[in-house]
Structure 1
Amino acid sequence: MTFDIKPVKTKNYEGQKPGTSGLRKKVTVFQQEHYTENFIQATLDAVNASGFTLVIGGDGRYYGKEVVQLIAKIAAANDVKKLIIGQNGIMSTPAASNMIRKRKANGGFILTASHNPGGPKNDFGIKYNIQNGGPAPEAVTNKIYEITTKMTRYLIADIPDIDLSTIGTTTIGEGDETFTVEIVDPVEDYVILMKEIFDFDMIKTFFSKNKDFKVLFNGLNGVTGPYAKRIFIKELGLSEDSVMNCVPLPDFGGRHPDPNLTYAKDLVDRVRNEKFDFGAASDGDGDRNMIIAKDFFVNPSDSVAAIAANAGEAIPYFKKHGVTGLARSMPTSAALDRVADKQGLLHFEVPTGWKFFGNLMDAGKCNICGEESFGTGSDHIREKDGIWAILAWLNIIAFRNQKEKIGIKDIMLKHYSTYGRNFFSRYDYEEVSSDSANKMVDRLREIAKDGSFVGKTFEGYEIEKIDDFEYKDPIDGSVSSHQGIRIQFKDGSRIVIRLSGTGSSGATIRMYVEKYTNDASQFEADTQTTIKSIIKAAVEISQLKEFTGREEPTVIT
């Protein structure tokens, strides 16, 4: 063997429990002595990685390249046989999922904190995805955490740093004792997949025939910049000025790489002021998306519903394979359920976390799914996929325009005329005291348990049911409890209150409200005006101000 393996004595760190999207902490936390090494070793031990082929990707954020080098050295020491790494350590989360599946790898590490800010004083994350390309299930993340509590040493190989900049393959060692690293173009295989799913020729023809149809994509200086340039400019023939902020930066240019109305305000302003027909954005690691037009914002809950309603007719992949079932996260509005009901499809309500969709997809029960948090996807991979969702919309627009000139707003109004409209919004209260947030939710759980609020009226809304959502996975039988408080009103309106696990400090309280109508005269009403009274009811029921002292949310989406 041409490299030495050295055991390094270490100590335990508290709190290395991966959430639904891996372990997320501040960069300074990961930079503590042995902290990152411990977590990598624990993950390799938990999945028994000897002999594995693993994919490594990341969103290009600060500290990513250093962690790629640590993974390589620790993987070599633990008898991992091969790493497939995106050039410069970069590969979007959807592309990494595709790479794991296409190369039949055993799993992979994705270095991202998704939509959270990057930079020396901001966030970093490590997520492990399993062989199906999806996030590790709780059985694996629980095992990782258990091992982190008992760490005494990790193994590291004495190998040189990997040249991440040059595409090609390097093998260290001889005979059966070899360690291979392949640096790959992170974009190529993903583009091949997209061209298999969507009708690129039809979209390109639509653009060439409709020169006045203006498109603007905002990469938020995250990982999807190179993907957008390749697909929108090279493959679909759009001009260079159709994209903005498409150079991946370690700190995302100082911006918050979350594609919503607050953090993608530069896109929103340009789309509205410059009259773009189609605006879109993706987040730091490429798994989220936002769709907006000069005259209409597509709520993420409505977006997945509209894609699902049109997919079987407009998108080649679904024309070929069909659509069997749809699924949404519990906080997401019931708009998708209405499509499933009318089209006679299976539909599922699952906890927040893409791994729950993955189980349904692997069992052939779900083809299209989404979360209100700007995540949309299908069974082409096992992650949500921002570029996929944007292409789905462009494919649907191109298809519909073969018969009539129609834009985003027209498509949504036609959708509402068939299915009705679920007015929906989410209020985020970020970096709240964890103690205060937990006390607030504990009180709501007690109310749900004793049923004391059923029949009470708040702001004119009478509570019909209140519960703490619990999900029994129909595939593996696992049970996920305490997933969020659901408050159902007699008129069909709904409130959901839950704590988010995607932040790196404090707690984020998320409050979701929806109101349904099939009254066509209301379809173009302003969402915030429509739900104003329900928000008041939510604040009163939760006693949010009393527990947190917050008067206003950090973000409204």
Structure 2
Amino acid sequence: MIQRLSTTPFNDQKPGTSGLRKKVRVFQQPHYAENFIQSVFDSLEAFEGKTLVLGGDGRFLNREVIQIALKMAAANGFGRVLVGRGGILSTPAASHLIRSSDAFGGLILSASHNPGGADEDFGIKYNVSNGGPAPEKVTEAIHARTLTIDHYRILEAGEVDIDTLGTSLLGEMAVEVVDPVAGYADLMEGLFDFGAIRAMIADGFTLSFDSMGAVTGPYAIEIFEKRLGAPAGTVRNAIPLPDFGHHHPDPNLVHAKELYDRMMAEDAPDFGAASDGDGDRNLIIGRHSYVTPSDSLAVLAANAHLAPGYALGLKGIARSMPTSGAADRVAEKLGIPLYETPTGWKFFGNLLDAGMATICGEESAGTGSDHVREKDGIWAVLLWLNILAVRRQSVAQIMTEHWVSYGRNYYARHDYEGIAKDKADALMEALRGKLASLPGTSNSGGKVEKADDFTYTDPIDQSVSRNQGARILFEDGSRVVFRLSGTGTEGATLRIYIERYVGSSGELGMATAEALAPLVKAAQEVADISGFTGMEGPSVIT
């Protein structure tokens, strides 16, 4: 029996760059998840009888919301739902499943790299038929509906068994529980030279992959240990847990310190990597050699032709505006376009669908290609392994040769977390008010050549995105970018991106902190960060 239950709107359900993220206790409010899911369905058209993909990263509340979503999908007229066994689907695997099954779209239950647990974070994101995050016109429609919703539809039924592979009926809708790993692993095996990687591992190459108690554990076991022959135990923290084993599943040098320490030890493996809560981000560390996400994007693009799936070359490279310009120099040498977009993977979708770009990346440890419409942590690790298997060099050697060829973009991101939103907004408003007067002035970073608030015009649909980050560009090619993040659930996070370029004949071996110190000082001088936030330094440096 389909129930039509009355409800009242919540005023805090505006999706961010990656869906709606809130604390678990917020989602546990009566009708809260139901309101948002119904608002998604109400914002879509002509999905009756179509297929919906459903799954998440296994965090606390994942299974409960899957049951709600199944019953609501049945009540709203979907014909079939594909759900990952146990409710598990990494974000890139969900994107692949949407595409490979010709689904109408998908609900991905995740708060990505945010912590999980009863007192932590949860999220719901809608992805469209190309497998990518909903574009702004869809998320705006969803938000508008959340403000007027007065009822939702749900099937009165018992719980669905989501732990057994196979198909059952929920009302008139088919529920098909699928293997969340096999199809994705097959896709990876078709893109990369698994034979060459297996041979490298058999010759004694060692690696360590940290799943951080999150969703990539089953994928990594299947791919790295079973298909590529790495020894048992290569994959650490491999069981997805509702609280990620008390890990903060963000693959950076703060939260993946155990991996970093392992890779800096005397007996370090040859290669180390990690992924985040929902499997779309990556961390790459060679023996005694950390690779920044921006540099990783550039190296992957420069060497992608070594993998079978990219042997014909790249159509173009896309990067988010805050990501360093290292990839720009690769694109220039390859003679292909470079696209600079706002932060948020959805901005890459049009470029990928139009065949204008092949590889995309964000400085926040997200890298991917046109094989799906999401960033993909395991994909990035496999491309690195394919490159290492062909070149038979260490990560450190590859990085050194890259810098000699292209120069080096010294780069860091400083995050100021948990700032009161009014103070963060006041800082950005004051900074934007100064931008027009900065060109021609000098500070600790040097002489300012240009200052603006980044605006992006999509080359495909001509849509315009404004206020995407305040940029201060210096005459020597250095820059400082200020941006408020939309991925947190409490307060505001101010992100400051600091970059200095040194040509191939310059000093390529400086410590990053030393190279960027004048620009860090300049950021404080221009924006009065400590004055607005009360913080003497960043919460996290990556």
Shorter-chain TM-score above 0.5? yes
SS in 2 for 1:515: strand
SS in 2 for 1:189: helix
Whole-angstrom distance in 1 between the partners of 2:161 and 2:445: 64
Look up the equivalent residue of 2:314 and give its one-letter code. Answer: V
In the superposition, relative to structure 1, how do residues 521 and 349 fare at CA in structure 2: closer, same or farther (>3 Å)? closer
Contact (CA 8 Å) 2:56, 2:89: kept in 1 or not? Answer: yes
Q: Match for residue 193 of structure 2?
A: 199
Q: Match for residue 292 of structure 1?
A: 285
Whole-angstrom distance in 1 between the partners of 2:394 and 2:359: 22
| Residue 359 of structure 1 pairs with residue 350 of structure 2 | yes
| Residue 281 of structure 1 pairs with residue 274 of structure 2 | yes
Look up the equivalent residue of 1:533 and give its one-letter code. Answer: P
- 2:101 aligned to which of 100, 103, 109: 103
Look up the equivalent residue of 1:476 and give its one-letter code. Answer: D
- 1:382 aligned to which of 370, 373, 376: 373
Structure 1: gaps (5+ residues): none
Contact (CA 8 Å) 2:403, 2:504: kept in 1 or not? Answer: no
Look up the equivalent residue of 1:243 and give its one-letter code. Answer: V
- 1:517 aligned to which of 502, 519, 535: 502
Q: Match for residue 400 of structure 2?
A: 413
Whole-angstrom distance in 2 between the partners of 1:285 and 1:410: 31
Structure 2: gaps (5+ residues): none
1:352, distance to aligned residue in structure 2 (A): 0.3
Whole-angstrom distance in 2 between the partners of 1:137 and 1:275: 43
Give CA deviations for 1:113-133 in whole Å, capped at 9, x if unaligned: 000000011000000000000
1:497, distance to aligned residue in structure 2 (A): 0.4
1:524, distance to aligned residue in structure 2 (A): 2.0
Give CA deviations for 1:123-171 in whole Å, capped at 9, x if unaligned: 0000000000000000000000000000111011112211011011012
Contact (CA 8 Å) 2:56, 2:87: kept in 1 or not? Answer: yes
Q: Match for residue 183 of structure 1?
A: 177
1:186, distance to aligned residue in structure 2 (A): 0.3
Give CA deviations for 1:306-327 in whole Å, capped at 9, x if unaligned: 0000112x0101114x311000
| Residue 369 of structure 1 pairs with residue 360 of structure 2 | yes
| Residue 57 of structure 1 pairs with residue 55 of structure 2 | yes
Please show how residues 252-291 of structure 1 align to structure 2 within 5 Å: 252-273=244-265, 274-291=267-284
- 1:309 aligned to which of 302, 310, 317: 302
SS in 2 for 1:248: coil
1:50, distance to aligned residue in structure 2 (A): 2.4
- 1:44 aligned to which of 41, 46, 64: 41
Q: Match for residue 159 of structure 1?
A: 157
1:15, distance to aligned residue in structure 2 (A): 1.4
Whole-angstrom distance in 2 between the partners of 1:370 and 1:452: 32
| Residue 433 of structure 1 pairs with residue 420 of structure 2 | yes
The normalised TM-score by structure 1 is 0.96
Look up the equivalent residue of 1:534 and give its one-letter code. Answer: L
Look up the equivalent residue of 2:200 and give its one-letter code. Answer: F
Whole-angstrom distance in 2 between the partners of 1:328 and 1:95: 22
Q: Match for residue 74 of structure 1?
A: 72
SS in 2 for 1:67: helix
| Residue 247 of structure 1 pairs with residue 244 of structure 2 | no
Whole-angstrom distance in 2 between the partners of 1:275 and 1:171: 51
1:460, distance to aligned residue in structure 2 (A): 4.8
Give the number of equivalent residue pairs: 540
Whole-angstrom distance in 2 between the partners of 1:293 and 1:408: 5
SS in 2 for 1:531: helix
Q: Match for residue 229 of structure 2?
A: 237
Q: Match for residue 455 of structure 1?
A: 440
SS in 1 for 2:482: strand
1:369, distance to aligned residue in structure 2 (A): 0.8
In the superposition, relative to structure 1, how do residues 460 and 336 fare at CA in structure 2: closer, same or farther (>3 Å)? closer
Whole-angstrom distance in 2 between the partners of 1:462 and 1:15: 42
Look up the equivalent residue of 1:240 and give its one-letter code. Answer: A
Whole-angstrom distance in 2 between the partners of 1:152 and 1:166: 36
SS in 2 for 1:203: helix
SS in 1 for 2:212: coil
Contact (CA 8 Å) 2:74, 2:170: kept in 1 or not? Answer: no
Look up the equivalent residue of 2:175 and give its one-letter code. Answer: V
| Residue 215 of structure 1 pairs with residue 207 of structure 2 | yes
1:18, distance to aligned residue in structure 2 (A): 0.6
1:519, distance to aligned residue in structure 2 (A): 4.3
SS in 2 for 1:86: strand
Whole-angstrom distance in 1 between the partners of 2:396 and 2:199: 21
The normalised TM-score by structure 2 is 0.99
Whole-angstrom distance in 2 between the partners of 1:519 and 1:235: 39
Whole-angstrom distance in 2 between the partners of 1:199 and 1:383: 22
- 2:456 aligned to which of 471, 474, 484: 471
Q: Match for residue 327 of structure 1?
A: 318
Look up the equivalent residue of 1:63 and give its one-letter code. Answer: L
| Residue 556 of structure 1 pairs with residue 538 of structure 2 | no
Please show how residues 3-152 of structure 1 align to structure 2 within 5 Å: 4-48=1-45, 49-152=47-150
Whole-angstrom distance in 1 between the partners of 2:274 and 2:188: 17
Give CA deviations for 1:340-359 in whole Å, capped at 9, x if unaligned: 01110011000001011111
Look up the equivalent residue of 1:155 and give its one-letter code. Answer: R
Q: Which has the higher mean CA deviation after the structures are superposed, 40-49 or 128-137? A: 40-49
- 1:443 aligned to which of 430, 438, 444: 430
Give CA deviations for 1:380-417 in whole Å, capped at 9, x if unaligned: 0000000000000000000112xxxx100100111111
| Residue 545 of structure 1 pairs with residue 540 of structure 2 | no
Whole-angstrom distance in 2 between the partners of 1:459 and 1:303: 29
1:368, distance to aligned residue in structure 2 (A): 0.3
Q: Match for residue 504 of structure 1?
A: 489
1:521, distance to aligned residue in structure 2 (A): 5.6
Look up the equivalent residue of 2:176 and give its one-letter code. Answer: E
1:265, distance to aligned residue in structure 2 (A): 0.3
Look up the equivalent residue of 1:356 and give its one-letter code. Answer: F
Give CA deviations for 1:482-541 in whole Å, capped at 9, x if unaligned: 000011000110000000000001000000000001144622211111101110101111
SS in 1 for 2:52: strand
SS in 2 for 1:476: coil
Q: Match for residue 400 of structure 1?
A: 391
Look up the equivalent residue of 1:45 and give its one-letter code. Answer: D
Whole-angstrom distance in 2 between the partners of 1:266 and 1:275: 12
Look up the equivalent residue of 1:298 and give its one-letter code. Answer: V
| Residue 170 of structure 1 pairs with residue 168 of structure 2 | yes
Identity of aligned residues (%): 53
SS in 2 for 1:88: strand
Contact (CA 8 Å) 2:287, 2:396: kept in 1 or not? Answer: no
Give CA deviations for 1:441-500 in whole Å, capped at 9, x if unaligned: 01111122xx21111111151111000001010111111100000110001100000000
